[in-house]
Every structure is written in structure tokens, then in C-alpha cells.
Amino acid sequence: MLSLLAACRQEENPPIDTRPLPSVAASPFVCDLVPLEAVRLMTGLRDPIIEGAFDMTVGQQIDKLDYGTGSCRVYQPTGNKPKALQITLSPAGSENEVEWEISQGARRLPEIVPGAIGSYGQNGPADDARAAAMLVHGYDRVIVELIHGVKGRDNAADVVAMMKLIAPKLILDATPAPEQAKD
């Protein structure tokens, strides 16, 4: 009888998958650039609801400048479907914003893209499963915000790992190389 009760409790609380996020972005992808397996690991959701896209040419359409924008939003598939993860790309970055975050206790991101700076950290109390990372390259900014992470995982390491997977593609595709810059 006790073993049956223990088995039922294990089903209610499946073991935490503590494997690190992949170090290489591999398909299947959501929102065209975000590896689904990384999303599953860091949110603990097997079948998340996913919305959004990134547009690397939106600036050319709006004001003839080269920049991209967009977001990828991940929601829990049950209940009131709260947001678990959001990744955004915008032309609203500034190095001062990163330095301010660091002065407030955030840690400096390791170099992910040459010439870019960033910060990351746990959001809220130490036992909260929220974390965020921000990377700025020129005016382009990528934010990985883990709103509902998995308790027992290193959520700060997860947002850094996700940033390493997606930021090189998002930031560099959104930012023209100097020789391609328009006058």
C-alpha cells in the first residue's frame, strides 16, 4: 500500500530535469530561432503554448534603417495559461541600462557577441524560479525573461544558456555589419 502511495506522489511531482540547456541550437525551433528543447528544459513544460515571431526587416519597412524586432512568448498549456518565458528583440538598448542593472546587483554576462555587453540575474527572492538576461549591441537589445522557471534548476544559468543559443543570431541579424551600414 505504501509503495502505491509513493508511486502516486512521484507522478504528481515528477523528478526535476537538471540537464543543462543544449550548447548548440538545434531543431525543432519555435518562433523560427528558439530551440524547443531548451524551452522545455528551462520551463518544465512538455507542450507549451507558443506565440510570436521575430522580424529582422521591420526597420527597413518603417524608417529604412536596419533593425529587427519581435518576441517569442511561452505560456503554460493549462489553467489560466500564465506566461512562463518571454524573449524580446528591440532597437531600444543602451549600455547605460546594462551598467545600471549591474550596479543594482545583476551579474555581467560573459562575452556572447563581440562588442555586446549584458547582464543577468535571479529575479525576486532566492527561492523564486525567475531570472532574466539582457544583451545590448549598439541599439539592439535581446531580453530573455524566465517568469515561471523550474524550482530546483539553476534558472540564472538557464537564461544565460538561452542567451548564448539565440542572441548571436538575433543580434547579428538585426545589426548591420559596418561595411553594410547605409549613409
For residue 3, pLDDT beyond 60: no
Q: Predicted confidence band at 176 (pLDDT cuts at 50, 70, 90)?
A: low
Q: What is the pLDDT of residue 86?
A: 98
pLDDT in tens, 84-112: 999 999 988 889 999 999 999 999 999 99
pTM for this model (two decimals): 0.84
Between helices 155-174 and 36-43, what is the axis angle to 10°? 150
Radius of gyration of the CA atoms of the chain, in A: 18
pLDDT of residue 162: 97
Burial 89-108 (b: 16+ CB within 10 A, else e): bbbebeeeebeebbeeebee
Average pLDDT, rounded, for the chain: 84
- pLDDT for residue 93: 84
Query: What integer pLDDT is reported at residue 68 of this predicted model?
Result: 76
Contacts of 177 (CB under 8 A, 6+ apart): none
58-91 per-position pLDDT tens digit: 655 556 666 678 999 999 999 999 999 999 999 8
Phi/psi of residue 180, each to 5°? -100, -5
Band (180; pLDDT cuts 50, 70, 90): very low
| CB atoms inside a 10 Å sphere around CB 8 | 9
Which pLDDT score, from 0 to 100, does residue 164 have?
Answer: 97
The DSSP output letter for 73 is E
